């Protein structure tokens, strides 16, 4: 039994965090293993709470081929990734994870492509001249381009009816109420937001709106139930870390699963002086 126990407020925060985690796990499992008309899922939540961590747990058991796309990439390169996946996996689902990768939603042109990809014609179309860019592609990419090249024009088209698209993002898709609040309906921002609202209608949206205590509860629940720092510290030290974070919640400059891992590493490096190390690293004072 741990030397540290949570009080009632902490226990309530852990329950709230657990509920939010379960909502995420259900949404991701439904997207990957479900058979609904709208399999795509868009998860919006605070950075660092562990969206990617939770998804990786599910992908480890995913029966379908999958890929994760993150960081900046061009629409041309993105489409080629879909083309290669389709070529190499001629049957069954294909799961594509967009991890804090908001290129598809960057501007109205890209949003229109995403809308068609997610619903309606269910295809990704790149209709621009590519010049000599294809020469710099891999052999598999060139082969996929040749297979899906548009016969009567530039570019290529990839069918997306077998794709399950999962978005993990810090950007919240607007609702109808958000759109009604816009005063200038002629602005470029309004045009983009209308497109994002259309994306919301084509996916299963999950908005994880959590306060600081609930985020701590999420992190605590994940730390205590998953293999987050088991290779570094025992259960007593996990509780020590989480309790310290709770008692310094207002001054923490970072609150995430990554924070727990870093604090565990610091404890291992200097167990006798860990509180001073934590204070100097993680508190804004």
* DSSP one-letter code for 136: G
Distance of CA 125 to the CA centre of its chain: 24
What percent of the chain is modeled with pLDDT above 90?
61
Give the predicted TM-score (pTM) of the model.
0.84
Pull the structure tokens for residue 121.
């014609």
pLDDT at residue 79, as a whole number: 92
Q: What is the pLDDT of residue 195?
A: 92
- The rounded distance, in Å, linking the Cα atoms of 68 and 92 is 18
Q: Which of 60-69, 91-100, 207-216, 265-274 has the highest mean pLDDT?
A: 265-274
Instruction: Give the pLDDT of residue 38.
Output: 79
Q: What is the largest CA-CA distance in the chain?
A: 72
CA-CA distance, 100 to 199, in Å (whole number)?
16
Q: What integer best gives the mean pLDDT of the chain?
A: 90
Q: What is the pLDDT of residue 52?
A: 85
In this prediction, residues 108-125 reach a mean pLDDT of 91
Average pLDDT, stretch 175-188? 86
How confident is the model over 142-167, as a mean pLDDT?
93
DSSP alpha helix (H) spans, the chain: 8-33, 51-59, 75-88, 108-118, 139-148, 176-180, 188-201, 212-225, 235-247, 257-269, 274-282
Query: What are the beta bridge partners of residue 16?
Result: none
Q: Which residues pair with 67 in a beta bridge?
A: 96
- d(CA 254, CA 245) in angstroms, rounded, equals 10
pLDDT of 30 higher than 80: yes
Mean pLDDT throughout 192-220? 93
Residue with tokens 């939603």: 105
Rounded mean pLDDT, 143-170: 92
- Spatial CB neighbours of 111, under 8 Å, sequence gap ≥ 6: 104, 105, 192, 195, 196, 198, 199
* Whole-number pLDDT of residue 71: 67
CA–CA distances in Å: residue 200 to residues 113, 231, 265 = 14, 40, 40
Per-residue pLDDT for 1 more than 50?
A: no
Structure-model confidence comparison of residues 264 and 58, the more confident one: 264
């Amino acid at each position: 039994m741990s030397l540290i126990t949570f009080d009632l407020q902490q226990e309530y925060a852990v329950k709230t965090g657990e509920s939010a985690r379960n909502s995420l796990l259900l949404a991701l499992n439904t997207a990957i293993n479900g058979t609904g008309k709208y399999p795509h899922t868009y998860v919006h939540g605070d950075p660092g709470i562990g969206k990617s961590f939770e998804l990786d747990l599910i992908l480890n058991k995913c029966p379908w081929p999958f890929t994760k796309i993150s960081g900046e990439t061009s629409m041309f390169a993105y489409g080629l990734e879909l083309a290669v996946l389709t070529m190499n996996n001629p049957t069954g689902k294909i799961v594509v994870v967009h991890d804090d990768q908001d290129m598809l939603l960057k501007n109205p042109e890209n949003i229109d492509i995403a809308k068609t990809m997610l619903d309606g014609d269910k295809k990704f179309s790149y209709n621009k001249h590519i010049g000599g860019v294809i020469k710099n592609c891999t052999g598999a990419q060139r082969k996929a381009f040749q297979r899906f090249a548009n016969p009567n024009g530039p570019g290529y088209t990839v069918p997306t009816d077998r794709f399950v698209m999962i978005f993990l993002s810090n950007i919240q898709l607007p609702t109808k109420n958000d759109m009604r609040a816009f005063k200038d309906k002629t602005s470029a921002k309004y045009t983009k937001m209308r497109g994002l609202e259309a994306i919301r209608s084509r996916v299963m949206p999950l908005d994880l709106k959590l306060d600081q205590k609930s985020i701590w509860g999420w992190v605590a629940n994940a730390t205590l139930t998953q293999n987050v720092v088991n290779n570094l510290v025992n259960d007593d030290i996990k509780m020590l870390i989480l309790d310290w974070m709770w008692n310094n919640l207002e001054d923490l400059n970072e609150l995430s699963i990554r924070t727990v891992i870093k604090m565990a590493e610091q404890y291992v490096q200097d167990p006798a002086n860990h509180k001073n190390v934590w204070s100097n690293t993680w508190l804004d004072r």
